[in-house]
Each structure stands twice: as C-alpha cells, then as structure tokens.
Structure 1
C-alpha cells in the first residue's frame, strides 16, 4: 500500500472516529430534544424514516400472506379488533383526530382512511411493532389469525363508508350514521 493511500485511509478513519465520539458525547450529554412535542431535525427524521422503511420492508420478505384476506368474516373480525385497539392512534373512517393521536410524534398513519400498501409489511409491523413510535408489538397478545384479520380489514377500509365500518365493527353508531364524530 502506498504512503498516499495509507495516509488517506488513516485520515478517513480518524475523521470517522472523531465524528462518532462527538455524536456519542452529544447523545450522552442529553442535549438532543427528546420530547414528543419537538420535531426531529430534518436529517434525524430522514434517517429514522429510512431505517424504519428499510428494516420493515426487509423483515416482511419472509412473511407469507394468506389467500383468504378477502373473506368477509375475516374482514369483520378485523374491523371489530381495529375499533377496539387501533382507532385512538390510527383513526376510524369517521374520525379526523383523537386526543391520544394529537400527542404522538411521529404521527401514526391514518389507516382509517388510507389503509395499507403492503399486506406482508402491515402484518409484520402489527405483530412486531416499531420501536420509539408508540406502535406496540401486538404479536405478544394476539394470535397470527387475529393479526391477519386486521390486515384483511385494513385492505378494505379506504373504500368503506363510516356506516359500513360501524356495522362491521358492531357498534351502535351504525344505527345513527349521521351523528358527527367527536
């Protein structure tokens, strides 16, 4: 190895070590604003989003999606589960806000209106959760069939009216669909 290349590599390693030590000291000093009411710096947010998206996409590659996700009873079961466990953060078709959601950062996706893009990834996220996002690992308390019913429901919710949702969820709002959401 030539002296020029060796000098360059030593310089790169030195700069990386100093940058790493500085970052570690910054984190250790508690200077980063960790409160959920202060947004991340743009670079931090970009890195977190990239980490989450890449990691969940990779982890979901081994998930096998069942063929029966269009089964009406599975969708209805998912709607009931969603109404019970998920609307506080992810909203229902007739919700635009919730007190719990207002305090969350990062803001969870509005699944009550948007649904999901990838069945396997949605299942993996519901089952394993996402660190530092308030998304719990429902796989610790729910069976895989229960989690797949949520995925089945989330595939259908973007095309549901609030009244259809409430009928599937089995609640009394189905009897009075014109009542505005709180």
Structure 2
C-alpha cells in the first residue's frame, strides 16, 4: 500500500510540474501576443532600443553572420581602382546613414534606431572581409540597413568593402567626393545594359577612324565649357549578358575627371557619332563590348563617352560644349579615342585597330607608355 501511495504521489507531482510548465509557456506566449495585438508595444523608430533589444539583436546578428559569411579575403583589397569605385558607391548609398570621418551623416540618420554606426569604429573594422561582405550584401533585418544584393553584383560589393577599409585614410580628393552631392549616380543599367534616357551619349555607335599615336599637348580641360549640359544622369553602365565585369561610361567630364584623379589613372574618351551608318558599330562590338576590354578598362582607365549626334535632338548648349571638347582634342572624324591624363592633358589618340580586342588594347597601352 505504501508503495502504491508513493507512486501515486510521484505521478501527482509530475503532473503538477508539467502543468506548471504548460501554464508558464502559455503565459509566455499569450501575454506577449496580447500586448502586441493590443497595440501597446511601440513600433516607432524614435525611441532608443530597450535593454532586451540592445542585447539580443546584436547577439543574433553576430551569430547569424558568423554562420553564413564567406571565409575569404577581399580579392580587390589592394586595388586603387576598386577602392575608388567602392567610394563612389559608398558616397551614393552609405554616406547618408554612416557618414565618414570628414563628412557627417545626413540629418535623417538621427532618427535611425538602432543607430547606423560610423564604419571606422574598431568593432566594425574588426569584422572579417567576409563578414563585411555578407552584411553589405544581405543587410540587417529590422534596421535601416538594406541588402545590396538587390541592386549590386558581388564585385560591386567587394569594392564597397575595400572602400570601408579605406575610410580612415581618405585623401583630400576622396574627402571632396564624400562631401559633394551625388550627380545622378545609379547602379542598375536600363534595358540592354545601356542608358536610354533622352540625349544620352551612346558610345555604342562609333565609326572607323584613323590611328594617331601622336602626343601633341592640346592643354587641359576647361570643365566649365566642356561639361555636356543635360547629361548628369546619362552615364552608361554596360555589362556582359552572361558574365564579366560591369564598366561605367561617364558622360560628365567633371565626374570622369574626379574619378580619374581619385583612381590615379588616365581617361579614355570615346568621341563617336551615331550618324555614320552601320560601320560605327564595329569598334563597339569588337572591343568595347568584350569582357577582355572591360577587365582591362576597370583596372587601367576611366571611361568617358562623348557622342556627336545633333539629329538626335541634342540641345544647342550641349552641342556647343561637345564641339568645344572636340576642338580641344583635335577630333576630326569618328570614332576617335583620346587618352588623356586626369588633368586633361592629351597623351595620344587612336581609332579602329584591326585585329580585335587584344590588338586594340596593345595599341592603347603603347600610347599610355609614352
């Protein structure tokens, strides 16, 4: 009898224990759901995060990031061109929230909770390249940090990571880029990979020209007279349909010059006209649209497209500035590709070169070595 009573009491205690667990679990679910359903929980972004959110949120982020981030170093870490490209993306997309040591974040960033941290602080710089890459690519849920994978490819994101590592060592010119307003910078091409906005300079319509390897100096660029008005948002971005890097053809002389100075590389200016017939497509198809050219250009030059096409309805002011640019560099036929220093000093020029991409690049490099 005693044994039976003992077993019964143990069973009763177990029942009470598990009943207590069930009630506690139910309360743990019902109470939060009731608070949320009642609207008592404040979803406003204005209050600072409470202690629970401030503790659990970063812990969850760190665990998720460590589990998913690639274990690799930035393949573009030491590339000045990659850093320059990354800073351009940073200026347009990251600067308003995070700021830099020389440029404060935008006023609206004060309303971000959790706050967007300065990216030069030790806890950010202590992240691995892979962790920074994952954060930029995927974003952070329930914060103001978006996932850049929706608008940027992996190469662009690695460039941004390189820029983040460089933020504490910005040159005066790079600091100027960080404080200057963005002029129509965009990260996605229009249909077919080329900008189709009215009046844009289509570098894909070029004609055969003679090759001039001379190095006559025609002076520097006068930005005030050569900037093609109305083209601030007409910059080309072309990409391979299947693979290959994305390259940007600037149509604004000032932007191209600034980028060339930051990157410490020359400018390749393609003077073209869409009014010279089908032969104008040859240089683009054989050279500019190839992966080999894009890879070479991304590492060696800043690209500038200048199209002379009055029949497309280009404004008189635009045509005057294009003609002034053509006069400065003695452009007499299309296509003419002028290679110049970041300050606008002419190095040399060439046009169509038989033999395909490799032959054209070799001719361009021969000019740049002079």
Contact conserved, 1:127 with 1:138, CA < 8 A, in 2? yes
Deviation at residue 162 of structure 1 after TM alignment: 5.7
Choose from 52, 60, 69 the match for 1:51: 60
Q: Decide which structure has greater strand share.
A: 2
Question: Partner residue of 1:7?
Answer: 16
Cα distance change of structure 1 residues 97 and 82 upon mapping to structure 2, 3 Å threshold: closer
Question: Secondary structure, in 3 states, of the residue corresponding to 1:31?
Answer: coil
Question: Secondary structure, in 3 states, of the residue corresponding to 1:65?
Answer: coil
Partners of 2:85 and 2:177 in 1: CA distance? 8
Partners of 2:178 and 2:48 in 1: CA distance? 34
With CA pairs under 8 Å and 6+ residues apart, which has the higher RCO, 1 or 2? 1
1:36 matched to 2:45: yes
Choose from 109, 113, 132 the match for 2:117: 109
List runs of 5+ in structure 1 lacking aligned partners: 175-182
Cα distance change of structure 1 residues 170 and 46 upon mapping to structure 2, 3 Å threshold: closer
Deviation at residue 167 of structure 1 after TM alignment: 6.4
Contact conserved, 1:105 with 1:133, CA < 8 A, in 2? yes
Contact conserved, 2:95 with 2:178, CA < 8 A, in 1? no
List runs of 5+ in structure 2 lacking aligned partners: 1-6, 181-253, 259-370
Partners of 2:73 and 2:94 in 1: CA distance? 21
Partners of 1:116 and 1:147 in 2: CA distance? 16
Cα distance change of structure 1 residues 16 and 49 upon mapping to structure 2, 3 Å threshold: same
Deviation at residue 170 of structure 1 after TM alignment: 10
Question: Partner residue of 1:177?
Answer: none
Question: Secondary structure, in 3 states, of the residue corresponding to 1:40?
Answer: coil
Question: Partner residue of 1:157?
Answer: 167
Contact conserved, 2:114 with 2:143, CA < 8 A, in 1? yes
Partners of 1:88 and 1:169 in 2: CA distance? 10
Deviations 1:75-134 (A, max 9, x none): 1111111111110001022123421211211111112x3363221111111111112211
Q: Decide which structure has greater helix share.
A: 1
Larger Rg: 2
* Alignment TM-score, normalising by the size of structure 1: 0.80
Deviation at residue 161 of structure 1 after TM alignment: 4.0
Question: Partner residue of 1:145?
Answer: 155
1:127 matched to 2:141: no
Partners of 1:10 and 1:162 in 2: CA distance? 67
Question: Partner residue of 1:178?
Answer: none
Partners of 1:97 and 1:155 in 2: CA distance? 18
